[in-house]
């Protein structure tokens, strides 16, 4: 009851922090998509490079976020951004690479060789093949990677409050330092609910972006 | 015209070099269908794919209409060659219309023209444009997809077509229908076609020429009748099967061996006359009665003619079995067996009797080619194993 009252009293703050959270993750994953998809496509050309890139991306994911923030403080201090917005976005950007690159790489690689041959046979150039056949067919799997990245990083971003990036993590960190369970619980619940809602929203988007003729095939998988 | 000049492909595999195509030289005249035929792994697909450079030749050249294709831009080359791949390969993210118009679009046709072309293609392959153009490949049956695959290859009206087992994925009944439709289209379109098959009956039906492959080598390249009549060696002979003589029946038309000589009676002739003619022409059972236009109206059986007096007009039975000049001998032979006849009358387009085909003429026709063949190289023939021992191996 007390918690509900607290929730209602702080609705405005909650709204502001949620928007901040979404924009941090949105910007970071957005940039990550713009870099990860081309990288994922590029590495389909060479298996050895692909293995190396995917290996590096998975190592990055194993670095605990607190440690990553710690590493970035001295480096980014050089340009005066040791803490705050920039390191938070960079961390999310790095964590997002693995799901996005891996899904793009897998999806493009898994395009039916017969379709690839048909595309060559009708006289498409390499770019036309990508644009007209391979990427449209890969979109559902690429989108699934973006979803994973977003959900994963909504959690990571909560920790970024410790380096002053803002977002819903602020409630959690304040709750801990002020021994205020109401703030702590509200922050934690808000982060989880946000992750679930965004996941569903992106799933809907993924369905919209799936080429029409593939809906049946996509539903089967 | 397609000409292959010592076309060779060697694949480097972990287990060593595999020669998939070994100095293949052949020529397909413009407007003809050439079937590449042979057992699995003999290099048919490899040879075909070197023509549109899906596979890069190790050595040798491909000429299309006299032009060396190595000097052409690969994409231009492919846009001017219709290609039907074995796995159909329709793009699942595109509608049927988008699939069919993909090459015209790449060639930069304007929208009105390629949309019109899509409708034209649908009529050609006997599918209703309004019902299908906006659908996706996953919503079509296998046979319908295969037709769309052919339509896609034909859409930009390329002079040359490559087809890799284009009707392989269809059940036998529908396959026969699509084959017939395709042959009918080809009569108007006159494309130069390389067509891979491993079905001998399909090869004989579709091919103007047949190229038999074995282990990367072109073993024999002949017209179907020549191939069946004179297989070059034991391999070809056993590959064609022991019923190859019967297969030839498909290829010969009534027109080719009908004789004009035929015994007939008129309604006014007496049954005595009928009996005499039955005997003098060597017809065992019956003779055909025709009207004043020489159209058959019935038959007089020998039994009736022998036991009855009177005129033919009062004693004829049922309409006789007839064949037309464009029927093939397989149909003729089948009718002869079914009706226990040693001859059948043949009629022209107006239904007038113009001659007859006899069982003897058929056996003689099939046999003469074999005799001619075995005389050519009788020395070799003696040394070679007989067909029966070849199949036992
Ligand atoms: N990419 C490749 N790498 C290595 N070997 C290959 C490759 N493609 C084909 N081959 C080999 O070349 C030979 C000829 O293959 P090809 O596909 O031309 O046969 P095919 O006559 O089309 O057979 P099928 O009737 O089974 O389709 C086979 O021995 C095959 O294993
Ligand atoms: Mg093949």
Asked whether residue B209 falls in the same domain as residue B143, the answer is yes
Residue B318: Cβ within 10 Å count? 9
Q: Is B208 helix (H, G, I), strand (E, B) or coil?
A: coil
Q: Which of A110, A122, A135, A221 to probe by mutation at the B interface, max B CB count within 10 Å?
A: A122
Residue A218 maps to a domain = no
The residue range of the domain holding B132 is 2-247
Asked whether residue B259 falls in the same domain as residue B330, the answer is yes
Task: Kindly state whether B56 is in contact with chain A, defined as any CB-CB distance less than 8 angstroms.
Answer: no
Contact yes or no for B89 and A115 at CB 8 A: yes
Instruction: Please name the residue ranges forming H helices in chain B.
Output: 44-51, 74-79, 96-100, 102-106, 111-124, 129-132, 142-154, 172-189, 200-206, 224-229, 234-240, 244-249, 254-257, 271-280, 302-307, 329-339, 359-376, 378-383, 387-392
Q: Between A and B, how many CB-CB pairs are < 8 A?
A: 75
* Ligand 1 centroid distance, CA of A124 (Å): 24
Which ligand 1 atom minimizes the distance to the CA of B213? 21
Which of B247, B270, B304 is where one domain is finished? B247
- Whether the CB of B10 sits within 6 Å of ligand 1: no
Contact yes or no for B89 and A118 at CB 8 A: yes
Which residues in chain B have Cβ-Cβ distances shorter than 8 Å to A115?
89, 91-92
Flag whether pLDDT at A215 surpasses 80.
no
Rounded Cα distance between B70 and B53, Å, is: 9
Rounded Cα distance between A118 and A120, Å, is: 5
The residue range of the domain holding A151 is 1-212
Model confidence at A8, pLDDT cuts 50, 70, 90, reads confident
- Number of separate domains in chain A: 1
Please tell me the predicted confidence (pLDDT) of residue B375.
Answer: 44
Query: Which of B45, B57, B203 has most ligand 1 atoms within 8 Å of CB, for mutation?
Result: B45
Average pLDDT, rounded, for chain B: 88
Model confidence at B253, pLDDT cuts 50, 70, 90, reads confident
Asked whether the beta carbons of B216 and B20 are under 8 A apart, the reply is yes
Those residues with Cβ within 8 angstroms of residue B365's Cβ, 6 or more apart along the chain or in another chain = B252, B256, B257
CATH at A9: 1.10.3720.10
Those residues with Cβ within 8 angstroms of residue B151's Cβ, 6 or more apart along the chain or in another chain = B100, B121, B122, B124, B125
Nearest CB among A117, A123, A213 relative to B85 is that of A117
Task: Kindly state whether A120 is in contact with chain B, defined as any CB-CB distance less than 8 angstroms.
Answer: yes
Residue B392 maps to a domain = no
Asked whether residue B93 falls in the same domain as residue B128, the answer is yes
Asked whether residue B115 falls in the same domain as residue B264, the answer is no
Which of B247, B274, B295 is where one domain is finished? B247
- Whether the CB of B15 sits within 6 Å of ligand 1: no
Residue B386 maps to a domain = no
CATH at B269: 3.10.580.10
Residue indicated by tokens 């296998």 = B142
Model confidence at B370, pLDDT cuts 50, 70, 90, reads low
Flag whether pLDDT at A117 surpasses 90.
yes
Which residues in chain B have Cβ-Cβ distances shorter than 8 Å to A142?
none
Asked whether the beta carbons of B53 and B228 are under 8 A apart, the reply is no
B393 vs A105, more confident: A105
Task: Kindly state whether B54 is in contact with chain A, defined as any CB-CB distance less than 8 angstroms.
Answer: yes
Contact yes or no for B75 and A125 at CB 8 A: yes
Contact yes or no for B79 and A213 at CB 8 A: no
Flag whether pLDDT at B380 surpasses 50.
no
Asked whether residue B224 falls in the same domain as residue B354, the answer is no
Residue B383 maps to a domain = no
Asked whether residue B225 falls in the same domain as residue B312, the answer is no
∠ CA A18-A24-A26, nearest 5°, is 95
Rounded Cα distance between A219 and B147, Å, is: 26
User: Where does residue A125 fall: left (phi above 0), alpha (psi -120 to 50 degrees), or beta otherwise?
Assistant: beta
Asked whether residue B130 falls in the same domain as residue B72, the answer is yes
Flag whether pLDDT at B378 surpasses 60.
no
Percentages helix, strand, coil for chain A, rounded to the nearest 5? Answer: 85, 0, 15
Beta-bridge partner residues of B298: B289
Write out pLDDT tens, residues B299-319.
898 888 889 888 988 888 887
Residue B377 maps to a domain = no
Portion 161-220 of A in contact with B at CB < 8 A: 211-214, 216-217
Which residues in chain B have Cβ-Cβ distances shorter than 8 Å to A136?
93
- Number of separate domains in chain B: 2
Closest CA to B52 of B84, B88, B23: B84
Asked whether the beta carbons of B319 and B298 are under 8 A apart, the reply is yes
Model confidence at B143, pLDDT cuts 50, 70, 90, reads confident
∠ CA A177-A62-A46, nearest 5°, is 150
Please tell me the predicted confidence (pLDDT) of residue B369.
Answer: 60
Please tell me the predicted confidence (pLDDT) of residue B183.
Answer: 93
Asked whether the beta carbons of B43 and B18 are under 8 A apart, the reply is no
Contact yes or no for B88 and A120 at CB 8 A: no
Paired tokens of B117: 């072309």
Asked whether the beta carbons of B333 and B366 are under 8 A apart, the reply is no
Q: Lowest mean pLDDT: which of A211-215, B131-135, B165-169, B307-311? A: A211-215
Which of B190, B221, B247 is where one domain is finished? B247
Flag whether pLDDT at B392 surpasses 60.
no
Residue A221 maps to a domain = no
Asked whether residue B198 falls in the same domain as residue B71, the answer is yes
Rounded Cα distance between A182 and A180, Å, is: 5
Rounded Cα distance between B226 and A93, Å, is: 70
Contact yes or no for A121 and B52 at CB 8 A: yes
Closest CA to B86 of B159, B170, B6: B170
- What is the H or E stretch that residue B356 is in? strand B353-358
Residues with CB under 5 A from ligand 2 (ion): B 45
Residue A109 maps to a domain = yes
Rounded Cα distance between B320 and B286, Å, is: 10
Residue B311 CA, chain-centre distance (Å), reads: 47
Which residues in chain B have Cβ-Cβ distances shorter than 8 Å to A211?
92-94
Beta-bridge partner residues of B36: B196, B211
Residue B380 maps to a domain = no
B284 vs B386, more confident: B284
Please tell me the predicted confidence (pLDDT) of residue A216.
Answer: 58
Which residues in chain B have Cβ-Cβ distances shorter than 8 Å to A212?
93, 95, 136
Residue A182 maps to a domain = yes
Asked whether residue B194 falls in the same domain as residue B321, the answer is no
Asked whether residue B283 falls in the same domain as residue B230, the answer is no
């Amino acid at each position: 009851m007390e918690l509900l009252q607290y929730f209602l009293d702080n609705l405005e703050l909650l709204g502001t922090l949620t928007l901040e959270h979404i924009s941090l993750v949105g910007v970071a994953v957005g940039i990550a998509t713009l870099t990860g998809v081309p990288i994922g496509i590029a590495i389909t050309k060479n298996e050895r490079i692909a293995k190396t890139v995917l290996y590096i991306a998975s190592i990055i994911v194993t670095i605990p976020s607190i440690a990553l923030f710690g590493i970035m403080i001295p480096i980014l201090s050089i340009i005066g951004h040791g803490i705050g917005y920039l390191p938070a976005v960079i961390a999310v950007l790095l964590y997002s690479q693995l799901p996005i690159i891996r899904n793009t790489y897998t999806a493009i690689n898994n395009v039916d060789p017969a379709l690839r041959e048909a595309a060559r046979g009708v006289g498409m150039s390499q770019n036309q093949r990508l644009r007209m056949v391979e990427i449209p067919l890969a979109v559902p799997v690429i989108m699934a990677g973006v979803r994973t990245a977003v959900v994963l990083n909504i959690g990571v971003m909560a920790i970024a409050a410790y380096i002053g990036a803002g977002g819903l993590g602020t409630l959690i960190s304040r709750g801990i330092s002020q021994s205020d369970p109401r703030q702590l619980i509200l922050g934690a619940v808000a982060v989880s609910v946000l992750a679930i809602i965004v996941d569903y929203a992106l799933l809907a988007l993924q369905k919209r972006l799936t080429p029409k003729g593939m809906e049946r095939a996509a539903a089967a998988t | 015209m397609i000409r292959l000049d010592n076309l060779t492909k060697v694949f480097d595999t972990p287990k060593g070099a595999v020669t998939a195509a070994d100095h293949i030289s052949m020529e397909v005249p413009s407007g003809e269908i050439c079937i590449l035929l042979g057992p699995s792994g003999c290099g048919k697909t490899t040879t075909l794919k070197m023509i549109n450079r899906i596979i890069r030749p190790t050595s040798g050249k491909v000429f299309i209409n006299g032009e060396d294709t190595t000097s052409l831009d690969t994409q231009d080359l492919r846009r001017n060659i219709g290609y039907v791949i074995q796995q159909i390969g329709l793009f699942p993210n595109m509608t049927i219309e988008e699939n069919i118009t993909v090459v015209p679009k790449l060639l930069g046709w304007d929208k009105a023209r390629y949309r019109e072309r899509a409708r034209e293609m649908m009529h050609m392959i006997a599918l209703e444009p309004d019902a299908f153009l906006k659908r996706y490949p996953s919503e079509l049956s296998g046979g319908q997809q295969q037709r769309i695959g052919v339509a896609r290859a034909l859409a930009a009206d390329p002079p040359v077509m490559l087809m890799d087992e284009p009707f392989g994925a269809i059940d036998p009944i529908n396959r026969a229908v699509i084959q017939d439709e395709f042959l009918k289209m080809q009569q108007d379109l006159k494309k130069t076609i390389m067509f891979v098959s491993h079905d001998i009956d399909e090869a004989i039906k579709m091919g103007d020429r047949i190229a038999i492959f074995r282990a990367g080598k072109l073993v024999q390249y002949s017209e179907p009748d020549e191939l069946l009549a004179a297989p070059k060696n034991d391999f070809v002979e056993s590959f064609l099967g022991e019923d190859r003589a019967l297969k030839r029946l498909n290829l010969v038309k009534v027109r080719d061996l009908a004789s004009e000589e035929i015994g007939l009676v008129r309604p006014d002739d007496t049954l005595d006359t009928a009996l005499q003619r039955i005997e003098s022409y060597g017809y065992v059972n019956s003779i055909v009665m025709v009207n004043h236009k020489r159209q058959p109206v019935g038959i007089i059986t020998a039994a009736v003619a022998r036991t009855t007096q009177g005129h033919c007009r009062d004693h004829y039975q049922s309409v006789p079995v007839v064949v037309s000049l464009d029927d093939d001998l397989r149909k003729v032979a089948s009718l002869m067996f079914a009706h226990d006849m040693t001859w059948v009358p043949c009629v022209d387009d107006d239904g007038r009797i113009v001659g007859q085909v006899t069982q003897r003429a058929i056996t003689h026709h099939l046999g003469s080619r074999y005799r001619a063949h075995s005389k050519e190289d009788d020395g070799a023939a003696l040394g070679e194993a007989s067909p029966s021992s070849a199949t036992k191996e």
